Amino acid sequence: MEPTHSDVQPELEREPLPHLGHSIGGGLPVIEQWVSHTLTPEGPHLWKTLFHKSACLSCAWGTGGQKGGFSNELGETLQRCAKSVEAIAAELQPGIKSHFFDHRSIGELQQLTSLEADRLGRLSFPVILRTGQSYYERISWAEVYDRVETAFRRPAERVASYSSGRSSNEAAFLLQLMIRAMGSNNLADCSDLCHRASSVALKTVFGTGTSLVSLESLHQADCVVLIGSNAPANHPRLMNDLIKLRDRGGTVIVINPVQEIGLIKFGSPAFPLKSLLPGSDISSLFLQPHPGSDLAIFVGIQKFLLERGLVQIDFLKAYTENWEAVIRQANATSWEDIVETCGVSQEEIELAAALISRSQRIVFAWAMGVTQQLNGVETIFSIANTALMTGNVGKVGAGLMPIRGHSNVQGFGSMGVSNVLGQELQKSLEKLLGRSLNRVPGYDARSLIDAADAGKVDTLLCLGGNLYAANPDLTQAKRALGNIDTVIYLSTKPNLGHFHGLGRQETLILPVLNRFENPHKTTTESGNNFVRLNDEGKTHLTEGDLVSEVEFITELAHRIHGDTPVNWRRLQDTRYVRQLIAQTIPGYEKIGQIDETEAEFTISGRIFTTPRFNTPSGKAQMQKTPLPQLTLPTPADFGASKGIVVALMTGRSYTQHNTVVYRTADKYRGMPHRHCILMNPEDVREGGFVDHQLVTVQGDAGKLEQIEIICGAVRRGAALMFYPEANVLMTAQVDERSRTPAYKRVPVLVY
Ligand X SMILES: Nc1nc2c(c(=O)[nH]1)N[C@H]1C(S)=C(S)[C@@H](COP(=O)(O)OP(=O)(O)OC[C@H]3O[C@@H](n4cnc5c(=O)[nH]c(N)nc54)[C@H](O)[C@@H]3O)O[C@H]1N2
Burial of 589 (0-12, 13-18, 19+ CB in 10 A): middle
Identify the H or E element spanning 223. Answer: strand 223-227
Out of ligand SF4, ligand X, Mo ion, none, what residue 258 binds, judged by CB under 5 to 8 A for its kind, is ligand X
Out of ligand SF4, ligand X, Mo ion, none, what residue 465 binds, judged by CB under 5 to 8 A for its kind, is ligand X
Range in contact with Mo ion (rule: CB under 5 A) among 238-246, 273-281, 399-407, 423-431: 399-407
Out of ligand X, ligand SF4, Mo ion, none, what residue 229 binds, judged by CB under 5 to 8 A for its kind, is ligand X
Q: Which is nearer to ligand SF4, 61 or 173 (CB)?
A: 61
Q: Which is nearer to Mo ion, 405 or 413 (CB)?
A: 405
Q: Which is nearer to Mo ion, 194 or 734 (CB)?
A: 194
Q: Which is nearer to ligand X, 156 or 255 (CB)?
A: 255
Judge contact between 164 and 404, C-beta under 8 A.
Answer: no
Residue from the set 405, 503, 511, 699 that interacts with Mo ion by CB under 5 A: 405
Q: Does 236 bind ligand SF4 (CB under 6 A)?
A: yes
Sites of contact with ligand X (CB under 6 A): 58-59, 83, 164, 166-167, 190, 193-194, 227-230, 233-234, 255-258, 260, 289, 291-292, 294, 367-369, 372, 405-406, 463-467, 470, 490-493, 495, 512, 514-515, 549, 649-652, 656-660, 723, 726-727, 743-744
Q: CA–CA separation, 44 vs 702, rounded Å?
A: 45
Q: Does 80 bind ligand SF4 (CB under 6 A)?
A: yes
Q: What is the DSSP letter of 421?
A: -
Helix, strand and coil percent figures for the chain, each rounded to 5: 40, 15, 45
Q: Does 63 bind ligand SF4 (CB under 6 A)?
A: yes
Site mask, Mo ion, residues 178-217, x = CB under 5 A?
Answer: ----------------x-----------------------
Q: CA–CA separation, 69 vs 90, rounded Å?
A: 18
Q: Does 230 bind ligand SF4 (CB under 6 A)?
A: no
From 744, 606, 625, select the one nearest 228 (Cα to Cα).
Answer: 744
Q: What is the DSSP letter of 440?
A: S
Q: What is the 3-state secondary structure (H, E, C) of 329-363?
A: HHHHCCHHHHHHHHCCCHHHHHHHHHHHHHCCCEE
Judge contact between 527 and 403, C-beta under 8 A.
Answer: yes
**3-state class (DSSP) for residue 211:** coil
Residue 182 CA: distances (Å) to CA of 64, 361, 553: 36, 47, 13
From 192, 152, 180, select the one nearest 440 (Cα to Cα).
Answer: 180
Out of ligand X, Mo ion, ligand SF4, none, what residue 723 binds, judged by CB under 5 to 8 A for its kind, is ligand X
Cβ contacts of residue 407 below 8 Å, gap of 6+? 55, 56, 57, 58, 59, 60, 62, 165, 166, 524, 526
Out of ligand X, Mo ion, ligand SF4, none, what residue 62 binds, judged by CB under 5 to 8 A for its kind, is ligand SF4
Q: Does 532 bind ligand SF4 (CB under 6 A)?
A: no
Q: CA–CA separation, 747 vs 238, rounded Å?
A: 31
Out of Mo ion, ligand X, ligand SF4, none, what residue 257 binds, judged by CB under 5 to 8 A for its kind, is ligand X
Out of Mo ion, ligand SF4, ligand X, none, what residue 63 binds, judged by CB under 5 to 8 A for its kind, is ligand SF4
Range in contact with Mo ion (rule: CB under 5 A) among 166-174, 280-288, 404-412, 431-439: 404-412
Q: Does 180 bind ligand SF4 (CB under 6 A)?
A: no
CB burial string 491-517: b at 16+ within 10 A, e below: bbbbbbbbbbbbbbbbbbbbbbbbbbb
Q: Does 717 bind ligand SF4 (CB under 6 A)?
A: no
CB of 200 to Mo ion, least distance (A): 15
Residues that bind Mo ion (CB under 5 A): 194, 405
